[in-house]
Structures are given as structure tokens and as C-alpha cells.
């Protein structure tokens, strides 16, 4: 981690919601999901918020050796967003506790605030993390 990784980093990230990021696309093999409305899926929205946090801090890490993984998500999903609209996330790094990072996150579409909350990430060494995952897979 670089010494520039400090609370106060703010980043804004915009994304045009395609048809492929709606609820039916989240689990195509789940018949229940196929009956749901075609709106930006909560699962994809959470991934979008994570993406914004990653982009916010990437210049402050020894990328790609150092990366972050999500460890906690506490966000609302307050309004539906149909495909075709643009969602914009604003994320702010509010705490750095060793390798633990805490963000305030908020997202809006062209009309409404769609999400707000907090997200935690943890800085990892990519090679060491991957090795642990492979050991876990091999023992399962």
C-alpha cells in the first residue's frame, strides 16, 4: 500500500445499465428470477459499488500485486432502475485500519437515489491469496 491510501479519497463512477444486468440475468437457471421485473439487479448493483471502490483506490496500491476483496456489504436498494439509464456511484474512503478499508457508498440513476450504505474491503497480496484459494479447493 502506498502512503497515499488515506481516508478522504472520493471517486465517482458511471455505468450505463444494459439489459444483461437485470434481475432475470442474475440467475438465468432460476425460474423464479425469470419471472421478475427487468430492472437493475441488486446483485449487479452491489458489484457496481465494489467496482467503484476498487477504482477509487487502485492508484494507491501496488497494483496488480496488491488488490482488495470485499468483506462486508451494508447497502440499501431504494429504487428500481430500468435498463438504458445510467447509474453513478460516489464512494468515499472513510477509514483505513491496517489492511481493512471502509467506504461510504451512494448511487443514483438518472432520476432517483438508488443505494446508500457502507462497504468494507481488505487489501490482499494477489499471489498469496490465490495460493490459499487453491489449497482450499484441493482439500475440498
Q: Is residue 77 part of a domain?
A: yes
Please answer whether residues 68 and 54 qualify as being in contact, where contact means their C-beta atoms are separated by less than 8 angstroms. Answer: yes
Please answer whether residues 77 and 45 qualify as being in contact, where contact means their C-beta atoms are separated by less than 8 angstroms. Answer: yes
Determine the 3-state secondary structure of 28 from DSSP: coil
Query: How many domains, in total, are found in the chain?
Result: 1
Q: What is the mean pLDDT of residues 11-38?
A: 97
Cα–Cα distance, 58 to 68 (Å, whole number): 9
Q: Is residue 18 part of a domain?
A: yes
50 in catalytic set: yes
86 in catalytic set: no
Q: What pLDDT is attached to residue 140? A: 83
- Using only C-alpha atoms, what is the Rg of the chain? 17
Q: Is residue 2 part of a domain?
A: no
Point out the catalytic residue in the list 13, 50, 60, 120. 50
Point out the catalytic residue in the list 22, 60, 68, 77. 77
For residue 15, give the CATH number of its domain: 3.10.129.10
Q: Is residue 70 part of a domain?
A: yes
Q: Is residue 40 part of a domain?
A: yes
Domain assignment of residue 18, given as a range: 10-139
> First and final CA of the chain: distance in angstroms?
32
Asked whether residue 47 carries a pLDDT value surpassing 90, the answer given is yes
Encode pLDDT of 117-135 as tens digits.
Answer: 999 999 999 999 999 999 9
Asked whether residue 21 carries a pLDDT value surpassing 90, the answer given is yes
66 in catalytic set: no
Q: Is residue 4 part of a domain?
A: no
Q: What pLDDT is attached to residue 18? A: 98
Cis? peptide before 133, omega within 30° of 0: no
Amino acid at each position: 500500500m502506498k502512503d497515499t491510501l488515506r481516508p478522504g479519497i472520493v471517486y465517482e463512477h458511471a455505468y450505463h445499465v444494459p439489459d444483461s444486468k437485470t434481475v432475470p440475468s442474475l440467475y438465468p437457471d432460476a425460474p423464479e428470477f425469470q419471472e421478475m421485473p427487468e430492472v437493475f439487479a441488486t446483485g449487479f448493483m452491489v458489484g457496481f459499488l465494489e467496482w467503484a471502490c476498487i477504482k477509487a483506490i487502485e492508484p494507491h496500491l501496488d497494483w496488480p500485486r496488491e488488490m482488495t476483496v470485499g468483506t462486508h456489504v451494508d447497502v440499501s436498494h431504494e429504487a428500481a432502475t430500468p435498463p438504458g439509464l445510467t447509474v453513478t456511484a460516489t464512494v468515499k474512503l472513510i477509514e483505513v485500519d491496517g489492511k481493512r478499508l471502509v467506504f461510504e457508498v451512494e448511487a443514483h440513476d438518472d432520476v432517483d437515489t438508488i443505494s446508500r450504505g457502507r462497504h468494507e474491503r481488505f487489501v490482499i497480496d494477489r499471489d498469496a491469496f490465490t495460493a490459499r484459494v487453491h489449497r482450499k479447493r484441493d482439500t475440498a
